[in-house]
Structures are given as structure tokens and as C-alpha cells.
Amino acid sequence: MDVQTLKPIASQRLPCAPRRKALFGLGSVALLPLLKLAGCSTVGASNSHSLSALPGPNSAPSAEQAAAAYRFVNRLSWGARPVDVQRCLQIGQVAYLREQLQPAAVALPEAVQAQIDRLSIQQPTPAERYAAAEKPRKTSTEEVDLDKRKLEQEAYQREMTRQGQEAMTRAVLRALYSPAQLQEQMVWFWFNHFNVHLFKSQIRLLLADYEEQALRPHALGSFRAMLGAVARSPAMLLYLDNAQNGVGRINENYARELLELHTLGVEGGYTQKDVQELARVLTGHGVNFSPNSPKLKPEWQALYQRDGFYEFNPARHDFGDKLLLGKIIRGRGAAELDEVLDLLAAHPATARFVSRKLAMALLMDEPPAELVEAMSRAFRADAMTTVLQVLASSPLFSAAQSSKFKDPVHYVLSALRSAYPDTLILDTAPVRLWLNTLGQGLYNRPTPDGYPLVASAWNSSGQLAARFDVARAIGGGAANLFKPADGPAPMAARVMPTLMGTVPSASGQGIQSLGLPANPMPALRPATIAALQAAKSTTDRNTLYLAAPEFMFR
Amino acid sequence: MSSRQRRSFLQLAAAMPAWTAGAGLAGLSSRVWAGPVTDTRFLLVFLRGGYDAMSLLVPASSSFYKETRPNIAVPLASAGQTAGATRLNSPGQTAGATRLNSDWALHPAMDNSLLPLVQTGQARFIPFAGIDDPSRSHFETQDAIELGQQRGASRDFGSGFMNRLAMQLGARNAIAFSSQMPTCLRGQMAVANVSLKAAPPSARGGAAPLQEALKAMYQDTPLQARVAESFEVRSQVAQEMSAMTGEMEAANRGAITAKGFELEARRIARLMRERYALGFVDVGGWDTHINQGAGTGYLASRFEELGTGLAAFAAEIGPATWRKTTVVVVSEFGRTARENGNRGTDHGHGSVYWVLGGGLSAEQGVGPVVGEQVRIEASTLNQNRDLPVLNDYRSVLGGLFARQYGLSAKAIDSIFPGAKPQDLRLL
């Protein structure tokens, strides 16, 4: 086999840059009806830049630059595609990072946005959606016929599940196609940090708004603001049982996790007494799904607060003074919580705990203490952009030796971004299934600690076997991705991935780069190259590429 | 290819992580085992969420128990009442706990599963068991138990006590029956894992046909042994499950009746009988902050499913292997002695651990409830809140392992550094 006989895997791809097609002499476009991402808006982090600005072959970067850019982008994103690496090489790492840290002006590709806009979770208000879902359950409690009651209960469960799945679809589409890749990674990071579980009580109905309102606006912004938004989110108040926490009926669950998992960390220097005092501060912060507010004594009416399903009910609040972390909190109502959150957000233990976790998520399992310290200092400014700036500016961030084993979410998303860089998937169901199979289902971590961030949690033999199966499914052109979940029959059965950019040359001495300035994976070991060369079919070659040890790390 | 491209590739290859240069891990080997090296079996069952031990092993002699749990205290079966009989006649309301001795009674949901094992000396309880970790955090205490390292000392989060046990036994046939590798089996010894909650994957599905190419790609990487093992385990599991399904179908005239944890436990028993000496499985759903029930209700049905599953495990593994098998059931902590405002219980401290096996000792004086004990009253509570830990789990398991495997004090110390093994004469 020589270079010429290595058939492009995806001759049907319609690349953004027409000249690339000419360059490869790609064949017929058999699958035109599949949605292509509009224009080239995914190329850079801003629509004002276009592929036409790509450097010609004469200004190609050095191999070291290309490899460093690949690693840099791969850490900032859900998987570096050739165009992303190209963009980084073109404008440099500093400017690339700046774009990623200020994604306000960045729009999703039109076709992706249109798909998201069609989701019901994007449309009516949370209250309307909740009421619609609750309707069959309400009727069911009045229903005398037990069979009918059962059917209505099932309809209620189905509607909740449907809304939960829509939230997953939105997350997958954004992660795969948003040019603001760092923002998308941070939304995932924060959800995992402030984890709630899909299947607890009615959280499926609250998930979409929780992510959208409590986390996303602050993902690159103020930790304190996010902490406050989470503390007044119905999803968290239900998940950690604070909706049940009232004076004389103390429930410590949220108080404990707020200290242990959300802010100070388990070694952050608090005591059981602090947990109990914080639980008292949290009394009365709860959830009210009814449009009506409770009847209150006149002196309490002014203290009552309501925002959507969130409510602060002074009748359930412990108005005594509290002593938390050595500070006296004067009992006065909802404002106590804000005072405490100020205290926690500004605590040095919080800065260290959150900074270390962030470095673990994006960089390596055991980040060096000096880096964590530098990030912790930046944390004081209460802007995640400055913390991320410190992290991404570390030489380790584009260094080879700090490679990080991908967790299943990162693995699946990066495989899809590599396989289908410019073809819009029409159904996220296979992605959701793969993630559940790999043990990291979206919104599906039952415990508040969130999914582990270290390799040892994800690289056991059983998990690797499951991962290889996913590589096979994607490598074989997972047809289900391209069948609309509820639309007309698909136009094409299979869409084979575009992993051709990295197929090694037959001589085994290099990579047929196919004109790309940097391959999606810049360095393949000889054993991997040999396996790819020996592959008997396109499916096998794709599978091996996605299952290769190099692809497991970033 | 141009010379520039070639140079690029070579330089990029040089920039790969260190392990790609051929550094394997000495402790890992790709060898997978055909059968147990020791003929005894040990299964750890971890009840995640902190189960309410005082509902399982009811403090029958404590009036404080009833006073402090007005809505959720498990009632006792009336004197002379035979276990199980009442439930058959009038299930539900009258379900009462059967007395095991003057101090303790067993939850009625266990009447048909665990109780017969207790009555025939094949199951015992260790109350006031647990870990001295005072955090009452699920995650902190679960991790601490699974790591099994000395509190206050610097800890290695990559080394769990069951992995260290496997090292001491030279038992390479350890397995976690879970889709994720649990902390207690992390470590130097390569351990397999497979979830048996759902039907296991077929031996030839997915990427299996590419296994030789995959193994070749992972040659000389730290994941080499695990990749080889992944295909080996898959084929073994598929083989055993197919045999078991066949037998069960034959026995039930075509219908597989077991489901949920019982089916999972039967699958585990089957694999452990044939191939694995050390096993781990976790069971969730125990964090009962709200409306946990008493003789019946949410927690009762969880107990019933668990008990039925463990009895099925004992049956499925077969009498010969069951005699050499020990099952230990643990949880990260017990719960508050008092019921909370939501007819549930909150995070507490001391728990009740269980030891099951076909070869438990029949020594005189070893009753169904063993270990240090204290009468449960307001004054004996830990921090006026929950049960104290009088039987440190590291000491208890250390003592058990010493008996089961004949391990030296030095070997036990490498599994549980600094612990003093406590011999409860369980085996």
C-alpha cells in the first residue's frame, strides 16, 4: 500500500474551504442532504475571521509549534479539530486564549442554533413547562380508575424524562459545535462541581434552567455570583434536601456539601459545629411550585422572597444568631446566606480547593502546588478568566509531559469532533447512551461529589473495553447520529468519519498530512501507525484510530 | 512525503508523553488467570449512602430506641410469634422484627432470606462497627474505608485495601462488579471490572474482533495489561453468563425469574465460583433522609431486595464453594439515632456490618451478634447524635483476613497499616 492508495475515508465531506476539496480531489458528494454547518463560523472564535486568512504552505509553522498548538487547543476544547489548531497557529496562543475567555460575541453555527431553538426547554417559561408536565400527575391523584391513574403517572414520568433529555441534547450540541469551547468545558466543569442528579424528585424539569441560569452566565465569570445563584436554585435546594430544612426540622445535607464540596473542601478547616450553624442559616430557603405564596404573619411578609420556584419563607427560618467559622452571623433572614456566601467565596481554602480542581480537570491529575498557589492568588479577583489565564499561561499547558487521560465525556465528544468536524448530528440519543455505558452519563452522577477527575477512575479494563466499543460504533459511521429523532427517514445510512487527515503513509515514516498544517493528532507511535496500516477496512482503521492510546490522552 | 513532513513527524513523536517511549509498569503483567490461586472466596458488599443500621439490627432492649423514633422504629414481633408466619397471614402492618438474642432483633424484611442464614450460623452481625472518621460525609468516609489507610497519616489515593489484600495473596483474580473501578480495588495489582447489573456484552461484539490490533497498539504503554485483560474478561463473562442463563432457563422452564439485585448477585456468584477469588460490588439507595418507613416502606423493600440477593448468592455459588466463602457487608456510616423532621434519618457514625459464609465458626459463645457492644441510651450516643464506633472495621477485617487466609501480622499490617487486628472468632 502506498500513499496514493490510501483512500480518503470521507469523500462525501463538504469542507468549509472549497480549495481543500480541490486539493484532495474528493469524490462525489453522495450525502448532500445531511446538514452541514453553516458557513465557516466554527473555524475561529469570531465570525470576523475566515478561512481565507489561512497561511499558505510557505508560512507553515514548525512541527513543535504545531504540536504545542494542538495540545493547547486540545486542553481548552472538547477536542482539537484541524481548523481549531489552524486558528491557534494563525493568531498565536495568547490571542487564541483571549478569544476563548471572551466568548460573548460568538454565535453558534446557524444550523446548530436552529436545532437548539426547536427544543421545548428553550420555549415557554419554566413555570409553564412545569405546569404542563405536572398536569397528568395532578389529574392522576384525582383519578379513581387505578389503571388510568397509572397511565397518567407514566405520562408524567415520560414528560420529565423528555425534558431531561432535551437538556442533554442542548449540552451535547453546544459542546460539539460551539466556537466558545472553553466556555462549554467550564459549564460542564461547574455542573460537575455543583452537581445535581437527573433522577432525584422533579429535577429533570429543573435541569435545563439550572444550567442556563445558575451556571452558564457565570462559567467564565464570578464564582461568588455562581455560588449565590446555585444557593437559590430550585434544583440544588431539592437535590440536597434544603427544601426540607426548616427551624426545628434541621436537615444538614446542603450545609455539609456546601462546605465540603462547593467551597472550602473537606480539609478546609471547618467543624461539625460549622455545618450545624450553616444548616441554621439555610433554614427557610426552599422551593415552592405553587403560584401562591404562603400566608404569613404581617411582620414576616416583608422578609418573604420569591423568584420563580425559589422562595425564602421566614416562617421556616431560624432567626437566632449563628457562629460560623468564628464569625457571628446576626439572625435577620435571607441576607444571612449572602453574608455567609461572601465569607466562603473569599476564603483562601475555597480558592485553593476550586483552583486545584480546575487544574485537575483541564491539565493533569496531580497539578504542581506552585501552579495551584498562583491560581489561588488569581482567584481573589473573583473572575474565573484571571484564574484560567494563569492556568493556560503555564508552560505545562502546552507541554507534552503533562498529558491527561480523557474521561468518558471528553473521549466521546473529542471522538465526534474528530470524526465529524463539520457534519451536524441530528440525534443525540447514541451519544447519551454511550456516555451512560461508559459510566459518565450526562447529569447522571447520583452523588454530590460529581464525577472523578482522575485517570484511575476511568481506565480500568472494563471501562477500556466499553470505550473500544464506542470507538467501533463511531468509527463505523454511527448511522443513528444522523437520523432525526422525530423527523423524516434519513437520507443516508452511514456517514463515515473524516479521520483521513491523520492516516499514516505506507512507508511508515511519516504522516500523510493531506495539506493540513497540523494533524488532529500530531504524533502517532510506530505501533499505532502499523496497526492503522494493517487495518482491513475503513471502519477498522477509524476504530483503531479512535481507540489508539494517543487518542485517550490530551 | 516531503522531507519537511518527515522531520515534523519525527519531532512530534519525540514530544509524546514519556510512557510512549516504551516505559511499561513493572507491576503489571498482561497475564490473566484461568482460576483462583486460593480456593477461598471473599466478596465485599458496599452499601453506599449510609444505611440505617438501627432499622436492620433493631436494639430490642433499648426503650430509648422507641422513644427517639416515634414514627420509624421497627416494631418487634410479639413474643412467641414465628418469623415469617405473621407476614404470610397478614403482610404489612404486623410485620415485626425477630429477636436474635436478648438485645437485638432482625428486620422482618429479612425473614425469608437472611434470617434462615443467621439461624443456621451462616450470618453474623457486628454492631458499632465503622471507621473513626468523624466527617459524616458520604464521600470522605467511603474513600477512607476503601483506602483503609491510617487516619492522620499521608494517604495514597491510588491504593485501596482490597488491592493490597490481592497483593498479599498474590491473587490476580480480583474483580469489581461495577462499571467503574472502586477506590478499594485501585492499586498496583491489575484488577478486572465488569458490571453485571445489565446483561453483559457478548464476546464477539463491539471492538472485540480488533483485539489483536488493539493489544499491539497498547504494547509498552501503561495500559497494556488492562487492554489484554479487558478482552479476556469479556470472553470469560460471556461464557459463564451463557451457561448460567441456560441452567436457569432449564430450571424455570424457560423463564428467568430473578431480577434486580438478585439476578446481579447470582451472576456474581457464578463468576466467583468459577474464576474469581476476590470480588466487590456496591449497592446504592440507602441515604434515607426522608420517609424511610419502619417494618414496611422504602427501607424495608431495599432490605428485602438485598437479603434476597445475598441468599441467592449463597445458593448459586453452591454448597462446596459457599463453605469457603466469606461475604462482608459494610456501609460508610450509620445514621442518627433520632428520627429527623421528615421521618427519615441523617448522617451518623457507627454502623452494623454483616459477615456471611458457609464456613463461619461454630465455636461456643460466638452468637449471631459479635464484637464490642454498649446499651443504646441517650448517654451512650456519640456526640449525643449517633452510635459510637467500638469495632474499627480495619481491626475487624484484619482479624478476619488473618483467620481466612492465615496471613501474618506483617502481612495484615501492609493491608491495614497501623491497625490492631481484632479476632472475633468469626471463622
Model confidence pLDDT, tens digit, residues A92-143 = 999 999 999 998 766 899 999 999 999 989 887 888 888 888 887 777 667 7
Pull the grid cell for residue A227: 455560588
Q: Which residues of B touch A548 (CB under 8 A)?
A: 217
Confidence (pLDDT) at A493: 52
B362 vs A: CB within 8 A: no
Q: Which residues of A touch B186 (CB under 8 A)?
A: 456
> Does residue B93 or residue B8 have the better pLDDT?
B93
B92 vs A: CB within 8 A: no
> Does residue A91 or residue B8 have the better pLDDT?
A91
* A-proximal residues of B, 162-191, CB under 8 Å: 176, 179-181, 186, 190-191
Q: Angle, nearest 10°, between helix axes A461-475 and A408-419?
A: 20
Confidence (pLDDT) at A27: 29
Placement of cell 487495518 in the chain: A535
* Interatomic CA distance for residues A238 and B227, integer angstroms: 41
CA end-to-end span of chain B, whole Å? 70
Residue of A461, A467, A503, A544 to mutate when probing chain B, most B C-beta within 10 A:
A461
Q: Is the pLDDT of residue B19 over 60?
A: no
Amino acid identity of residue B369, one-letter, is V
Residue of A460, A472, A507, A553 to mutate when probing chain B, most B C-beta within 10 A:
A460
* Interatomic CA distance for residues A157 and A167, integer angstroms: 16
Domain spans of chain A, in order of start: 3-101+405-552, 176-345, 351-402
- The band of B302, judged by pLDDT with boundaries at 50, 70 and 90, is very high
* B43-195+257-415 CATH, one of 1.10.760, 3.40.720, 3.40.50, 3.10.450: 3.40.720
CB burial class (10 A; 0-12, 13-18, 19+) of residue A506?
middle
Percent above pLDDT 90 for chain A: 56
B221 vs A: CB within 8 A: yes
* Interatomic CA distance for residues A465 and A470, integer angstroms: 9
Confidence (pLDDT) at B154: 63
**Average pLDDT of the segment spanning B87-95:** 49
Residue B198: partners with Cβ closer than 8 Å, 6 or more residues away = none
Pull the grid cell for residue B284: 446504592
Q: Which residues of B touch A246 (CB under 8 A)?
A: 341
Residue-averaged pLDDT of chain B: 85
Q: Angle, nearest 10°, between helix axes A63-76 and B3-14?
A: 50
Residue A94: partners with Cβ closer than 8 Å, 6 or more residues away = none
Residue-averaged pLDDT of chain A: 83
ipTM at complex level: 0.82
* Interatomic CA distance for residues A61 and A534, integer angstroms: 31
CB-nearest partner of B17 from A62, A261, A553: A553
**Average pLDDT of the segment spanning A531-538:** 87
- The band of A483, judged by pLDDT with boundaries at 50, 70 and 90, is confident
Confidence (pLDDT) at A59: 62
Q: Angle, nearest 10°, between helix axes B161-169 and B393-405?
A: 20
Pull the grid cell for residue A4: 496514493
Confidence (pLDDT) at A2: 29
Of A81, A89, A98, whose CA–CA distance to A45 is shortest?
Answer: A98
Cα A438 → chain centroid? 16
Count helices and strands (H / E) in chain A. 24, 5
Query: How do residues B50-67 score in pLDDT, each as one tens digit?
Result: 999 999 999 999 999 999
Of B176, B214, B187, B183, whose CA–CA distance to A552 is shortest?
Answer: B214
* Interatomic CA distance for residues B386 and A272, integer angstroms: 13
Q: Which of A48-57, A80-89, A196-205, B61-70 shows the lowest per-residue confidence on average (mean pLDDT)?
A: A48-57
> Does residue B74 or residue A65 have the better pLDDT?
B74
Confidence (pLDDT) at B424: 92
Of A258, A270, A280, whose CA–CA distance to A329 is shortest?
Answer: A280
Q: Is the pLDDT of residue A505 over 90?
A: no
Confidence (pLDDT) at A503: 45
Interface contact flag, B16 A550, Cβ < 8 Å: yes
If you count residue pairs, one on A and one on B, with CB atoms under 8 Å apart, how many are there?
199
CB-nearest partner of B206 from A462, A468, A528: A468
Confidence (pLDDT) at A522: 65
Note whether B388 and B350 are within 8 A (CB).
Answer: yes
B192 vs A: CB within 8 A: yes
Q: Is the pLDDT of residue B422 over 90?
A: yes
* Interatomic CA distance for residues A272 and B135, integer angstroms: 7
Interface contact flag, A250 B383, Cβ < 8 Å: no
Q: Which residues of B touch A253 (CB under 8 A)?
A: 289, 346
- The band of A360, judged by pLDDT with boundaries at 50, 70 and 90, is very high
> Does residue A37 or residue B206 have the better pLDDT?
B206
Q: Is the pLDDT of residue B184 over 90?
A: yes
Q: Is the pLDDT of residue B27 over 50?
A: no
Q: Is the pLDDT of residue B386 over 60?
A: yes
Could you write out the three-class secondary structure of B293-332?
A: CCCCCHHHHHHHHHHHHHHHHHHHHCHHHHCCEEEEEEEC
Please tell me whether residue A327 adopts helix, strand or coil conformation.
strand
Half-sphere exposure of A136 (CA within 13 A, CB side): 15
Q: Mind telling me how many Å the CA of A359 is from chain B's nearest CA? A: 18
Confidence (pLDDT) at B81: 57
- The band of B26, judged by pLDDT with boundaries at 50, 70 and 90, is very low
Q: Is the pLDDT of residue A494 over 80?
A: no
Query: How do residues A256-309 score in pLDDT, each as one tens digit?
Result: 999 999 999 988 999 989 999 999 999 999 999 998 999 999 999 999 999 999
- The band of B320, judged by pLDDT with boundaries at 50, 70 and 90, is very high
Q: Is the pLDDT of residue A486 over 90?
A: no
CB-nearest partner of A461 from B193, B213, B216: B193
Q: Mind telling me how many Å the CA of B253 is from chain A's nearest CA? A: 31
* Interatomic CA distance for residues A415 and B116, integer angstroms: 52
CB-nearest partner of A544 from B12, B217, B226: B217
> Does residue B36 or residue A538 have the better pLDDT?
A538
Q: Mind telling me how many Å the CA of B14 is from chain A's nearest CA? A: 8
Q: Is the pLDDT of residue B139 over 90?
A: no
Q: Which of A409-423, B25-39, B369-383 shows the lowest per-residue confidence on average (mean pLDDT)?
A: B25-39
Q: Which residues of A touch B195 (CB under 8 A)?
A: 462
Interface contact flag, B9 A466, Cβ < 8 Å: no
CA end-to-end span of chain A, whole Å? 30
Interface contact flag, A260 B137, Cβ < 8 Å: yes
* CA closest to B229 among chain A residues: A461
Please tell me whether residue B355 adopts helix, strand or coil conformation.
strand
Q: Which residues of A touch B231 (CB under 8 A)?
A: 465
Q: Which residues of A touch B13 (CB under 8 A)?
A: 523-525
Of B186, B256, B222, B307, whose CA–CA distance to B29 is shortest?
Answer: B222
Q: Which of A214-228, B220-234, B294-308 shows the lowest per-residue confidence on average (mean pLDDT)?
A: B220-234
Query: How do residues B234-272 score in pLDDT, each as one tens digit?
Result: 888 888 888 888 887 777 666 656 778 999 999 999 999
Interface contact flag, A63 B227, Cβ < 8 Å: no
Percent above pLDDT 90 for chain B: 62
CB-nearest partner of B179 from A439, A523, A535: A439
> Does residue B114 or residue A518 have the better pLDDT?
B114
Confidence (pLDDT) at A105: 65
Residue of B71, B189, B215, B218 to mutate when probing chain A, most A C-beta within 10 A:
B218
Q: Which residues of B touch A400 (CB under 8 A)?
A: 15-17
- The band of B325, judged by pLDDT with boundaries at 50, 70 and 90, is very high
Sheet holding B98-99, edge to edge: B57-59, B104-106, B98-99
Confidence (pLDDT) at A106: 65
* Interatomic CA distance for residues A161 and A115, integer angstroms: 19
> Does residue A240 or residue A402 have the better pLDDT?
A240
Q: Is the pLDDT of residue B375 over 90?
A: yes
CB atoms within 10 A of CB A403: 22
> Does residue B1 or residue A318 have the better pLDDT?
A318
B216 vs A: CB within 8 A: yes
Of A79, A35, A51, A174, whose CA–CA distance to A516 is shortest?
Answer: A51
> Does residue A529 or residue B17 have the better pLDDT?
A529
* DSSP state letters, B160-199: -HHHHHHHHHT---EEE-SSS--GGG-SSS--EE---SSP
- The band of A149, judged by pLDDT with boundaries at 50, 70 and 90, is confident
Confidence (pLDDT) at A200: 82
Note whether B322 and B269 are within 8 A (CB).
Answer: no
Confidence (pLDDT) at B87: 46
